[in-house]
Amino acid sequence: MTSEVKTVSGSGIPLVGNDIDTDRIIPARFLRCVTFDGLGEHAFEDDRKALAGKHPFDQPQYKGANILVVNRNFGCGSSREHAPQAISKWGIQALIGESFAEIFFGNCVAMGIPCVTMDPEKVKEIQQILTNNPQAGVSINLETMQVLCGDFSASISIDRGARNMFISGTWDACGQLVANAARIRETAMQLPYVGWSNLAAG
């Protein structure tokens, strides 16, 4: 299936700090949007303004990077889906971290964005590698459960159910519905209450 997510490769952005909550990822004033389009440009907006160009998302050496490397309890706070949506719209396709808030993790799974964890010291090591060499290639492999970055390699962890969903492509609920449209119609036709409205109209 085209929805399968077995590997994510590219370059990484090191974002150092624990307990980065969803309000920092996307400030509350941007939650009034009708669609998620355009949220990417506002990712970490207040943090970026405060750091006056020194935030990793504003540094040119990380432009185009698609893997975000974070620390402990990333995505904590409110359950807003806008947070992973903003990160996704920025261009992030996977996250590596020490740990993730449960609801943030679940929202990412529903969007096809793997959030894998590593030993804290290994996370700090890969963050330092990316700080020293922003062009270092990063590869996450959900089949071998390994992260590679140059000469660096480490084992990763992810919830078993989420891993199976990524590898099989079943994380994509909408895709599953579209792929099984004929079977859904067939099942619907066998349900007596589906035709009630037609009987009432007659």
Structure confidence at residue 1 as a pLDDT band (50, 70, 90):
very low
185 pLDDT higher than 80: no
Compute the mean pLDDT over every residue in the chain, rounded to the nearest whole number. 90
Confidence of residue 76 (pLDDT cuts 50, 70, 90): very high
Contact 156, 25 (CB under 8 A): no
pLDDT at 200 over 60: no
pLDDT at 188: 72
Residue 155 has pLDDT above 50, yes or no: yes
Which pTM does this prediction carry?
A: 0.86
Mean pLDDT across 113-140: 97
Of the two residues 199 and 20, the one the predictor is more confident about is 20
pLDDT of residue 16: 98
Given pLDDT bands bounded at 50, 70 and 90, which one contains residue 156?
very high
Lowest mean per-residue pLDDT among 59-68, 122-131, 188-197 = 188-197
Q: Is the pLDDT of residue 54 over 60?
A: yes
pLDDT at 2: 64
CA atoms within a 13 Å half-sphere pointing along the CA-CB vector of 137: 6
Strand-pairing partners, residue 163, are none
CB 7 within 8 A of CB 141: yes
Q: Give one DSSP letter per residue of 82-98, joined into a string.
A: HHHHHHHHHT--EEEES
In this prediction, residues 145-149 reach a mean pLDDT of: 98
Q: Which residues contact 75 (CB under 8 A, 6 or more apart)?
A: 20, 21, 22, 25, 83, 84, 100, 101, 103, 104, 105, 108
- pLDDT of residue 57 exceeding 80: yes
More confident residue, 187 or 13: 13
Q: Average pLDDT for residues 30-44, to the nearest whole number?
A: 86
State how far the Cα of 12 lies from the Cα of 73, in Å rounded to an integer: 19
